[in-house]
Structure 1
């Protein structure tokens, strides 16, 4: 099945799920009573230490890792401070952040903008809908930029190499308490500043048919090359499902597939796909463990090595696994320890004495505070 078929499938899933819901009785668009205005503040701090086995003489982890990307160094992955406003009809948010995640993942952004974690304003154009414009978290993926919200401490390869944030306009519509649809017009694939005269499009469907099961389908379409470069259309579909089997045991399955043109006369498009399986078990109110198995496959290293790969560039084939142990002494603090191993089909990882290896292992520990 070609990627265009996957992309079309995502759009059809959106329409089919919307049609499958029983529409509630029609109500007037106006809101009878405006709730009291609400302004809340929030903060998050993730301090960590990482150690890479057989590491090269550098404190930098492999270039395709952006969160917790430093080793043998005590530092901060992400420190966030912000405020949100929501009175039921109007809402907005402004959050600032700094840390090694920001330095790595926002390296190409304008220095004035790179420290904006989120900055958007929105209102209800009609009941059960929101229209927001600005900078906000990505509509793609199971994992977020805040480690406290993720099952594992470090991010999967697929999360690290798909958007964490976006800039544009999004229209969110709550079809029912179980189904939410979102359409987006964006500057591009994880970029705040526009790099050409084209706009990207995105969709998201989130459906919760039962209290235990959540299904998500997200798509992206756009040309992500600079204005003076040959146009290369990018198609992408992200799917994930999370299931709470019991009050203690949960599972999540994530699958991404994308395709990008090679340009005029470039022949076959470059395709990448990735998958992850997560298992989480809560032993007590304070102790939780999680495991992850994953793979990442990219023709000519598209996206993970370069957004504009040469036809002669090597393919990237990666597999990995991780094991996570969390301790939460209180609801807003979590101490996490994770061991991770990645293997490649060809020598890809730099080690000491200038050697290249086909395997890579690390340990990472973090204490995160949220308020």
Structure 2
């Protein structure tokens, strides 16, 4: 992964971790990718980001080899940016292309499961893979999932899985169909969508608790970052007292910098999903993280010597019927020091987001969505028609089919 200095015109793309003093170079890989078929594998239980279970985990309750697929086409119109601008703001990785019909994510997945063994392989294409995996080795950019697992106990639900898997950090995933809003929250776009390493997962017999610990190659890295000896550690504690409430706490401890900078990262993700199957439901989320200041920048104590970023988000969904749903979102992201999102402006990235979306299930496996979204920032950080703007407005539509 290359490092350099970025200002407004070149927001950080892959890896999604940038400091004002030490920023990533924007990596843009234009049209590429052949769509190949998926091989045998299996689905990891619903620990991948919570909202992403209905499509990915179709095969988890079946024994043997199964195949699934997903395709999401979209069109986004950015009202703020110049007509010639082809990309949405750089801190976004889903629905990235502006004013053109494109594919956000499409994958084919083969899944194998038995009583004591499981594995999966999913091959992806789309603009999500193009932008979010730009820092990975070319042959790995098309891998959505590739992992194998073994059940360690005959009587307990205890699994060891290793490979590349979707992230359990956060309540949103890249599979838009399984999220409550068409586009992702800022906190989801700037925390890991995928992880690489090994994890140990235990589910209690009553189904109420999930406990997970993992050893990872880094903060959303398939290959370990050059200069970083690692490994990184991550945990998840999830409690589901009943069908109407899910409480989750996920953590990450490691670094997204070379060892020479001695920048330890500590990150916490909290969320609650309330009444997910009722007429009115809600998600409340909060992320907070810190990177120690690099060598030579002063006090080394945590707090006094750290850069901190945080983000609260609230989503409320109303089910008009089984086929029609409406959801609204309010969010805020504060990254004054540009740890994750670098702007080069006096106040850093301090941005509110508001969105409203309408969902219509044409068929149980075919979903049409439309969403209006606005960002409001402390500083002028968005590309405007004549100069930089403090606000950004967009309209996105999508059609997603799973099979």
1:192 partnered with 2:222 = yes
Matched, 1:162 2:191: yes
Could you tell me how far 1:37 is from its partner in structure 2? 4.1
In the alignment, what sits opposite 1:357?
389
Indicate yes or no: 2:265 matched with 1:234.
yes
Q: What CA distance in whole angstroms lies between the structure 1 residues aligned with 2:220 and 2:346?
A: 23
Q: Are the aligned partners of 2:187 and 2:333 in contact in 1 as well (CA < 8 Å)?
A: yes
Which of the numbers 242, 266, 273 marks the counterpart of 2:297? 266
Q: Secondary structure at the match of 2:243?
A: coil
Query: In structure 2, the residue corresponding to 1:169 is in which secondary structure?
Result: strand
Give matches, 1:199-210, under 5 Å.
Answer: 199-210=231-242
Q: State TM-score, norm by structure 1.
A: 0.86
What CA deviation, in whole Å up to 9, does each residue of 1:291-334 have, x standing for no partner? 0000000121211228xxx9x97521000110000010111000
| 1:88 matched to 2:115 | yes
Map 1:330-345; keep pairs closer than 5 Å. 330-345=363-378
> Once the 2 structures are TM-superposed, how far is the Cα of residue 161 of structure 1 from its aligned partner?
0.3
Where does 1:1-371 land on structure 2 (aligned, <5 Å)? 37-56=63-82, 57-126=84-153, 127-176=156-205, 177-195=207-225, 196-226=228-258, 229-244=260-275, 247-267=278-298, 268-305=305-342, 314-353=347-386, 355-371=387-403
CA contact (8 A) 1:50 1:73 kept: yes
Structure-2 separation of matches of 1:52 and 1:113: 31
Shift of 1:96: 0.4
Q: Which range moves more in the overlay, 244-253 or 204-213?
A: 244-253
Q: Is the 8 A contact 2:73 2:400 kept in 1?
A: yes
Unpaired segments of 5 or more residues in structure 2?
A: 1-60, 299-304
Structure 1 spans left out of the alignment, 5+ residues: 1-34
Does the residue aligned with 1:63 lie in a helix, a strand or coil?
coil
Q: Secondary structure at the match of 2:187?
A: helix
Asked whether the equivalents of residues 41 and 82 of structure 1 are also in contact (C-alpha less than 8 Å), the reply is yes
Count of residue pairs the alignment pairs up: 331
- Residues 80, 383 of structure 2: 8 Å contact kept: no
Contact 1:301 1:313 in 2 (8 A): no
Which shows bigger deviation, 292-301 or 238-247? 238-247
- Distance (Å, rounded) in 1 between the aligned partners of 2:117 and 2:244: 31
1:245: Cα distance to partner?
A: 7.5
- Once residues 80 and 280 of structure 2 are traced to their aligned partners in structure 1, the CA distance between those partners, rounded to angstroms, is 35
Deviations 1:227-262 (A, max 9, x none): 5x4121000000000111772111110000000011
How far apart, in 1, do the equivalents of 2:185 and 2:63 lie?
Answer: 38
SS in 1 for 2:112: strand
Asked whether the 8 Å contact 1:300–1:313 carries over to 2, the reply is: no
Answer whether contact 1:301 1:314 (CA < 8 A) is retained: no
- After superposition, the CA RMSD in angstroms is 1.6
Distance 1:37 1:70 in 2: 39
Counterpart in 1 of 2:45? Answer: none
TM-score (norm 2): 0.80
**1:109-168 superposed Cα distances (whole Å, 9 cap, x missing partner):** 000111100000010112310100000011200101100110000000000000000000
Q: 2: CA distance between counterparts of 1:193 and 1:313?
A: 34
Distance 1:36 1:150 in 2: 24
